């Protein structure tokens, strides 16, 4: 089994390598990531200009790693097209150092990288973690590896694309894991104006709203201490069977020693 790993925080991100360390215990791993931070770049792809790739010394032994001077999407496309040798079984992107919830997923480079694998027929996983109390990436990396294992072991399910968000709290304090949908009207863009002596400038600021959200959404799940597992799909024809995601979620709860929340809120059938 071989897993392709990317991110939008860059090849030097410690969260990337924490994830790779855990994934290396269940599969061979190849890393293809941007050479620097490319956050909030969405699904941007570099066209009409060249891209440079460098093989780098991995921070986890036994891993092949490439640094790409492009976007997260570029890194995944290059790996699947040229850099990775042998069959890829899963594309994983993360661990992002902040949550990617609701409408924020549409501009996320983390989600964008995983999407490129999904669009090319590979099961894909995007992983993000709240960074507030400084619990660190270790528990998030373990959770991601358990979900990755569940995806790979799912029988013939290439249409599986999951966006996972993990609250920043000790594993023992997590309430559970919920299958969710993206929250609607979860974020707002505002414009701030200033003057630095050279002239007027503007800053775009993206913030979560204080709107009430439904209990089956990703925002509600994480806010209440749950791991949020959101299936993403581009059309109803590619929608994965809910039973597959439920099996992965139940397996994760069992491995972590967590109880299934009652009543469990899931996406509609």
Give percent of the chain above pLDDT 70. 88
What are the helix and strand counts (H, E) for the chain? 6, 11
- The answer, yes or no, to whether residue 186 has pLDDT greater than 70, is no
* Segment 13-23, tens digit of pLDDT: 999 999 999 99
pLDDT, one tens digit per residue, over 72-99 is 999 999 999 999 999 999 999 999 999 9
Predicted local distance difference test score (pLDDT) of residue 157: 65
C-alpha span between 122 and 50 (Å, rounded) = 25
Nearest-5° angle of CA 260, CA 265, CA 269? Answer: 120
| Residue 40 scores a pLDDT above 90 | no
SS3 call for 34: strand
Domain boundaries, the chain: 2-183+211-256
Would you say how long the chain is, in residues? 269
Instruction: Give residue 262's pLDDT band: very low, low, confident or very high (50, 70, 90).
Output: low
Q: How high does pLDDT run on average in the chain?
A: 88
Q: DSSP string of 170-235?
A: -GGG--EEEE-BPPSS-EEEEEEEEE-SS-EEEEEEEEE------TTBHHHHHHTTEEEEEE--SS
More confident residue, 221 or 103: 221
* CB contact set of 224 (below 8 Å; sequence gap of 6+): 175
Compute the distance between CA of residue 22 and CA of residue 138 in angstroms, rounded to an integer. Answer: 9
Instruction: For residue range 127-148, list pLDDT tens digits in order.
Output: 999 877 665 567 899 999 999 9
Q: What is the pLDDT of residue 239?
A: 76
CA nearest 206: which of 51, 121, 119, 99? 99
Say if strands 176-179 and 226-231 run parallel, antiparallel, or are unpaired. parallel
Band of residue 171 on the pLDDT scale cut at 50, 70, 90: confident
Sign of CA dihedral 112, 9, 94, 222: negative
- pLDDT band per the 50, 70, 90 thresholds, residue 264: very low
3-state secondary structure of 255: helix
User: How far apart, in whole angstroms, are the C-alpha atoms of residue 57 and residue 61?
Assistant: 9
Whether residue 110 contacts residue 15, with contact meaning beta carbons closer than 8 Å, is answered with no
Are the C-beta atoms of residues 250 and 199 closer than 8 Å to each other? no
Scanning the structure block, which residue is given the tokens 């060249």?
A: 50
Strand pairing class (2-6; 53-56): unpaired
pLDDT at 110 exceeding the cut of 90:
yes
Q: Out of 3.40.640.10, 1.10.10.10, 3.40.1210.10, 3.40.50.2300, select the CATH number for domain 2-183+211-256.
A: 3.40.1210.10
Q: Could you tell me the pTM of the whole model? A: 0.89
Question: Mean pLDDT throughout 162-166?
Answer: 96
């Amino acid at each position: 089994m071989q897993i392709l790993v990317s991110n939008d925080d860059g090849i030097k991100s410690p969260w990337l390598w924490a994830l790779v360390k855990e994934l290396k215990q269940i599969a061979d791993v190849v890393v293809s990531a941007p050479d620097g931070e490319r956050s909030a770049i969405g699904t941007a792809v570099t066209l009409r200009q060249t891209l440079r790739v460098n093989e780098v010394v991995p921070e986890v032994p036994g891993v092949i790693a490439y640094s790409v001077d492009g976007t997260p999407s570029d890194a995944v496309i290059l790996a699947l097209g040229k850099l990775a040798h042998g069959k890829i079984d899963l594309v994983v992107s993360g661990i992002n150092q902040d949550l990617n919830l609701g409408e924020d997923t549409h501009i996320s480079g983390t989600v964008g990288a995983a999407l490129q694998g999904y669009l090319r027929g590979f099961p894909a996983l995007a992983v993000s973690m709240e960074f507030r109390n400084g619990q660190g990436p270790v528990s998030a990396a373990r959770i991601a590896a358990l979900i990755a294992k569940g995806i790979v072991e799912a029988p013939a399910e290439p249409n599986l694309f999951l966006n996972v968000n993990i609250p920043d709290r000790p594993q023992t304090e997590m309430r559970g894991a919920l299958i969710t949908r993206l929250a609607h009207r979860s974020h707002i863009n505002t414009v701030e104006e200033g003057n630095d002596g050279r002239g007027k400038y503007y800053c775009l600021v993206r913030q979560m709203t204080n709107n009430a959200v439904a209990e089956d959404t990703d925002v509600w799940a994480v806010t209440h201490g749950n791991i949020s597992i959101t299936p993403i799909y581009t059309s109803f024809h590619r929608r994965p069977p809910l039973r597959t995601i439920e099996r992965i979620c139940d397996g994760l709860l069992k491995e972590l020693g967590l109880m299934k929340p009652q009543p469990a809120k899931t996406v509609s059938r």
